[in-house]
Structure 1
Amino acid sequence: MRRPESLDRAVRSLFALTDTHAVERLVIVDNDPQATAEATARALALETPFPVTYVHQPQTGIANARNTGLAHASDARFIAFLDDDEIASANWLQALLDVQKRYDADVVFGPIEGKAPDARTSIRPVVEAFFSRNGPDVDTLLARSYGCGNSLMKRHTALNGDTPFQVSANQTGGEDDILFARLEKQGARFAWAAQAWVQEQAPSHRANLAYLLQRAFARGQGPSQTAASHGEIAALIRWMAIGGGQLVVFGLGGIGTGMGLTQTGAGLLIRSAEGLGKLLWFSGLEPKLYGASELKRRS
């Protein structure tokens, strides 16, 4: 979505993989109606050590983009996801594949190091921590899921069907949470590849407290919405009770420690926003951060 410089950086990180032969095909999905990534993608295709498929999906939305990419990799055994704001480490793909083989996992997740050079200095560690993903120090099976960015999935078990990512989440995100919640109920096997590092570069419009509070609110809505969609009333009540506690405790703490002007205050406000999301999980209250909303912001 209008980030050709990020796309170039992400793809070039794949040139330095320890085993580029592990990449059977790279699918690049351009989700800008004006196809602004095409020139960059075509130029990269001339340099890559593996075949590149460029696809234009003019209907904006993060689920649309992911589903479109999958439609052009229907014959693959495994799909690895690298977002265009991420930079793969040299051992990234091999680490994911090794862990998948060891545990016969349906989905493998890797760690993310967040970077936010444009964030305000006083809260930069909080911003970078928000965009980071930490997990076990060793490869292992998981009892939970993470996000789709920096993951490897079995194509025909984890990603079956024409639209495994729910298009109702096109503007709000969370399409991966919905998928993984369904896979968990089906008994899918999740694993963690401790050495499959990527670095995520937070752009300036996301490297601020206002954006983090919106994302935290949406993140908080996730477990409550999942429980409600499955008709799990007891779980919904529990998540809402947890959210109420987070809102009160962390909200008061955030107000008392600088209202987001300090690292401690910003961190507490983010936690309180997650709590508020657990309480206000109702449809229609989701922040719209992707797709048409992102296009409007960039226009």
Structure 2
Amino acid sequence: MAGDVAVIIPTLRRPDGLLDALQSVFGQQAVGHRVGQIVVVDNDPTGSARDLVEGLQTERPWPLTYVHAPVPGVATARNAGLAATEAPLIAFLDDDEVASPGWLAALLEGQTQTGADVVFGPITGRAPSAEPWLQPYLERFFGRHGPAKTQLIDQPWGCGNSLMVRATALPGPAPFNTASDQAGGEDDALFAALSARGGRFGWAADAWVEEFAPPHRATLRYALARAFAYGQGPSQTAAAAKDWPAVARWMLIGAAQAMVWGAGSVALAIVRSPRRADLYDRTARGIGKLFWMKGFEPHFYGARELARLEKAAA
């Protein structure tokens, strides 16, 4: 069973975050021979991460593979990482995440204990540059919390900080839908299809990572745009399955949420309560369920993110 796990880290012009993520993987404990490969997928057309990755070749404890996926897109990057390894177990870590020393061992133990096709771990959100009143909300927003014990769960989370059984959770050579390259949601579609096939999801309570929100993400505007996109997910998944009664149900739920939480957020905004951010978030998710159609998707990845980075560097 030697070398049955590959860790895949997609990256786009985040050298500091990538270095921190890689060093946290190099420091994993109690996994030994289980790690067969670490794959870094550079999604920058210029291949900007190559020198950093190649410079770490001498200090890595496991084989380190550099993959250049020059067309920016979150699904494209994940598919390129999968194409570079034949490992039967795939762990995903993002380039803004730092894994605790026992992260991978906890994911593996969680998969063994639950028998799940995909196992997720908890995330501690960090937003050091946020406004003080907004910071608690943002750290909850970028974080992830689940059951206190390792167990099966009913609903999936996102790809960052996850372990997947390739044969069941990642079918075919390109399981992530590249139509999601710019807006994200590639994991929602993947997990919805897995659930429809009878797949199971698990939670590894000790598989902790920290996720660091850079300054441009540590804002209310960014978080609410993401909340709107998350709200779109259930309606879009139902629409993709042509389950129109489910679409209608989600839209009704969204309308109710938008009205109730919207009214509450107005009241809290008047008294300047820090809790207003949470109600803004719930309102945005409700509105997302209503406006799920093509043309309303906010774009966070791929070409849009590359354009933002190039503008910031100019």
TM-score by length of 2: 0.93
Pairs within 5 Å for 1:99-248: 99-248=110-259
1:20 is displaced (CA, Å) by 4.9
Moved more, 249-258 or 222-231: 249-258
Of all paired residues, the percent bearing the same amino acid is 51
Mark the runs of 5 or more structure 2 residues left unpaired by the alignment. 1-11
Pairs within 5 Å for 1:5-16: 5-16=16-27
Aligned residues of 1:114 and 1:129 also touching (Cα < 8 A)? yes
Aligned-partner SS, 1:80: strand
Amino acid at match of 1:120: E
Aligned residues of 1:20 and 1:49 also touching (Cα < 8 A)? no
Residue of structure 2 in register with 1:33 after alignment: 45
1:209 is displaced (CA, Å) by 0.3
Aligned residues of 1:123 and 1:262 also touching (Cα < 8 A)? no
Aligned residues of 1:8 and 1:44 also touching (Cα < 8 A)? no
Aligned residues of 2:31 and 2:105 also touching (Cα < 8 A)? no
Distance 1:71 1:260, change over 3 A: farther
Aligned residues of 2:98 and 2:211 also touching (Cα < 8 A)? yes
Aligned residues of 2:127 and 2:214 also touching (Cα < 8 A)? yes
Task: State the alpha-carbon separation in 1 of the partners of residues 59 and 270 from structure 2.
Answer: 48
Task: State the alpha-carbon separation in 2 of the partners of residues 173 and 260 from structure 1.
Answer: 35
Aligned-partner SS, 2:36: coil
Aligned-partner SS, 1:117: coil
Task: State the alpha-carbon separation in 1 of the partners of residues 202 and 106 from structure 2.
Answer: 12
Tell me, yes or no, if structure 1 residue 56 matches structure 2 residue 88.
no
Amino acid at match of 1:41: V
Aligned-partner SS, 2:292: coil
Moved more, 19-28 or 56-65: 19-28
Aligned-partner SS, 1:54: strand
Amino acid at match of 1:167: T
Task: State the alpha-carbon separation in 2 of the partners of residues 246 and 43 from structure 1.
Answer: 50
Amino acid at match of 1:26: I
Q: CA RMSD in A?
A: 1.2
Count, aligned residues: 298
1:235 is displaced (CA, Å) by 1.4
Residue of structure 2 in register with 1:24 after alignment: 36
Mark the runs of 5 or more structure 1 residues left unpaired by the alignment. none
CA offset digits 1:230-252 (Å, max 9, x no partner) = 12122111111111111111112
Distance 1:172 1:23, change over 3 A: same
Aligned-partner SS, 1:133: coil
CA offset digits 1:151-205 (Å, max 9, x no partner) = 0001121112121000000000000010000000000111110000010001110
1:260 is displaced (CA, Å) by 11
Aligned-partner SS, 1:173: coil
Tell me, yes or no, if structure 1 residue 91 matches structure 2 residue 137.
no
Aligned residues of 1:123 and 1:261 also touching (Cα < 8 A)? no
Amino acid at match of 2:144: R
Aligned residues of 1:260 and 1:266 also touching (Cα < 8 A)? no
Tell me, yes or no, if structure 1 residue 258 matches structure 2 residue 269.
yes
Aligned residues of 1:254 and 1:260 also touching (Cα < 8 A)? no
1:97 is displaced (CA, Å) by 0.6
